[in-house]
Amino acid sequence: MGIFEALVALGFVVLFHELGHFSVAKACKIRVEVFSLGFGTKLFKKTYGGTEYAFSLIPLGGYVSLQQEGDRGYLSKPIWQKSLVLLGGPLFNFLLALILCVFLALLPQERLEPIVGQVLPNMPATNALQVGDRILALNHTPINSFEDLQKAVKNSKGLSVVLRLQRGDKTLSLPLKLKKIPTKDVFNQPTSIKVLGIKPQDKTFYFHYTPLQALEHALAQCAHLIALTYQGLLKLVEGIVPLSNVSSVVGIVGFLAKQSGLEMWLLSVGFISINLGILNLLPIPLLDGGQLVLLWVEKLSRYTFKESQIRLLNALGFAFLGALLGLGLFNDLAAMFAKPA
């Protein structure tokens, strides 16, 4: 994929976020004054149903402007509706990621056959398994692909397992003890993984998820991506992940442009959509999460923030986000112009 496609994808992710605010506001009978595709000078606009729909000069995302006062104004609505409107954008980001993951899961899935192609030395499988063995189950978990076997090994309780396999015309059950080996996680932190000590044959097959299986797979995949994003943010705050990993729009577009293949590209768009949703839930003024916190602080404390206080908080939030954007841009440009060693 190229830069243009990456820009379009990023703009669509932001636009889908705004569509969430728009849809929830409409459902709560709040008048949406403007729904714009893009930012800046309006090149085209048309009013329909009390809302001005516009196409603006910079087509990266969009924005929603809500009526504030009156019966159909945002300020006149109960706090639960205001909260839903604020949550609408991030929730739509998660929804977009789920839709993309379901779509990918419904495509034909290429998987490796669970057939032993190589037995590694000094491993649990060394003296137990043979090339050509077909793995049928690990403990009580049926194995249909080599990926299933990897997942079953990872999720097994303890190290002692029983493998059921087919060897020629025979079906065997072999007790084995998995081995733990040190490695690094996605954050380059020391960890360990359980291994059996085999490699698969280069033999693949295709299968299809049912719609329900596709939904279950997509939900698990999105939950994993959300957890991974939160872990990354936490480790960034803890200093485990360096600030040099912070990226800007330039880096995101570059990342998308480098993805090859429809599956990896759409999965990357979904991951970026999840990141945008989580970013907007952070309790930072100007962001949806910050506005949500202020909303509930006022409700629970019965204290109304003065306009000057709101402006100060927004200024601090703007400064923080500006600094974060500047850091990300610096990192991206440094990476672009860095000379290879």
Tell me the catalytic residues: 18
- Cα separation of 248 and 229, whole Å? 16
| Mode of pairing for the β-strands spanning 204-207 and 134-138 | unpaired
Torsion over CA: 174, 109, 188, 235 (sign): negative
